[in-house]
Amino acid sequence: MIPYGRQSIDQADIDAVVAALKSDFITQGPAVEEFEEQIRATTGARHAVAFSNGTAALHGAAAAAGLGSGDLVVTSPLTFVASANCAKFVGAMNAFVDIDPQTLNIDVERIPEIADALVAVHYAGLPVDLDRLSYRPRIVIEDASHAIGATTPYGPVGNCARSDMTTFSFHPVKTVTSAEGGAVTTNDPELAASLRRFRSHGVVRPEGAPPWYYEVTELGYNYRLCDLQAALGTSQLSKVDAFVDRRNELAAVYASGLRDLPVTTAPEMRVEGRHGRHLYPVRVADRDRVATELRSCGIGVQLHYVPVHLHPLYREDGWTDGDFPEAEAAARELISLPLFPTLTAPEQATVIDSVSSIVREDALQ
């Protein structure tokens, strides 16, 4: 089976983890600080705070922003549920804004003025154009789980040039992995300090107190990353440009190979910058049958995503079919094709040939 995503681990990554394992610290040691420094260097942000996973990073960002009861948090319905759940985690209210079908990102020109916060999801690695915001909520959080290594006209995604915080995920199918892991970047020292407290039980160590003394000043969580994961993440981040370049090369092959088929290929950058290319999503008619046949051919395509508002948890809030027609129409047609740096030319040719055969057969029926 050719999977839709796969981690790219080399000997340098293995050596980094082994070195951490042999060190004096396997958790709460210097490797986490080194990882955070590498994230700062990659994104250009002033502060980076590592978390145990991307969902924890989103939770931390919502909490550090002070969001809570009475606040309205807007995000895209076409995303993984964590992008919306972070509002529920802090007791805030959820709302959604439909996508722009040309980008599959949230339509930033439709952000309501009653929104207190925006979680802007860079779907498939394509950065949301935050310069086009019709209204800038009090808090803007970029969900860049798909977009490490992407760039925009105002610099690398994660530099927070147009946002308060940016969150990342380092799950194995993402461009860069730490096995499980996440991070939040920000340029605000107070937000960074709040994030650090939140990820570690709300613990503070007062200045001048003995080294063994600590106080818990607020409700926090154990969302820390261990040194083994951080060592892997640091090694992986050193290759982020090569990974993203390779993903864009593969995307160009798909765009060319699928051009003459009844397939809508993945959205491209519409402004200067570099696409993160976490996914290569295409739109096809009769998606379920096409996906089933591709899987029977040994091609592990995936759906990204079931619209958040149609999950039973969110239907309980009153959301229903037809609320966000563009997101729902896209979700009925989307398939994520295999895309990862070690995808070989013969494997990609197999994917393109299989898609071609199946969708041409559909067209003749």
Tens-binned pLDDT, residue by residue, of the chain (365 aa):
999 999 999 999 999 999 999 999 999 899 999 999 999 999 999 999 999 999 999 999 999 999 999 999 999 999 999 999 999 999 999 999 999 999 999 999 999 999 999 999 999 999 999 999 999 999 999 999 999 999 999 999 999 999 999 999 999 999 999 999 999 999 999 999 999 999 999 999 999 999 899 999 999 999 999 999 999 999 999 999 999 999 999 999 999 999 999 999 999 998 999 999 999 999 999 999 999 999 999 999 999 999 999 999 999 999 999 999 999 999 999 999 999 999 999 999 999 999 999 998 655 45
Task: Compute the distance between CA of residue 48 and CA of residue 129 in angstroms, rounded to an integer.
Answer: 22
- Could you tell me if 216 and 252 lie in one domain? no
Query: Looking at 237, 253, 280, which one is the last position of a domain?
Result: 237
- Could you tell me if 289 and 260 lie in one domain? yes
Are the CB atoms for 324 and 96 separated by under 8 Å?
A: yes
CATH for 79: 3.40.640.10
**Helices and strands (DSSP H and E) totals, the chain:** 11, 15
- Number of folded domains in the chain? 2
Range of the domain at 277: 240-364
Query: Looking at 237, 257, 278, which one is the last position of a domain?
Result: 237
- Could you tell me if 311 and 206 lie in one domain? no
CATH for 345: 3.90.1150.10
- Could you tell me if 225 and 261 lie in one domain? no
Task: Compute the distance between CA of residue 304 and CA of residue 281 in angstroms, rounded to an integer.
Answer: 8
- Could you tell me if 233 and 247 lie in one domain? no
- Could you tell me if 208 and 245 lie in one domain? no
- Could you tell me if 69 and 172 lie in one domain? yes
Are the CB atoms for 303 and 336 separated by under 8 Å?
A: yes
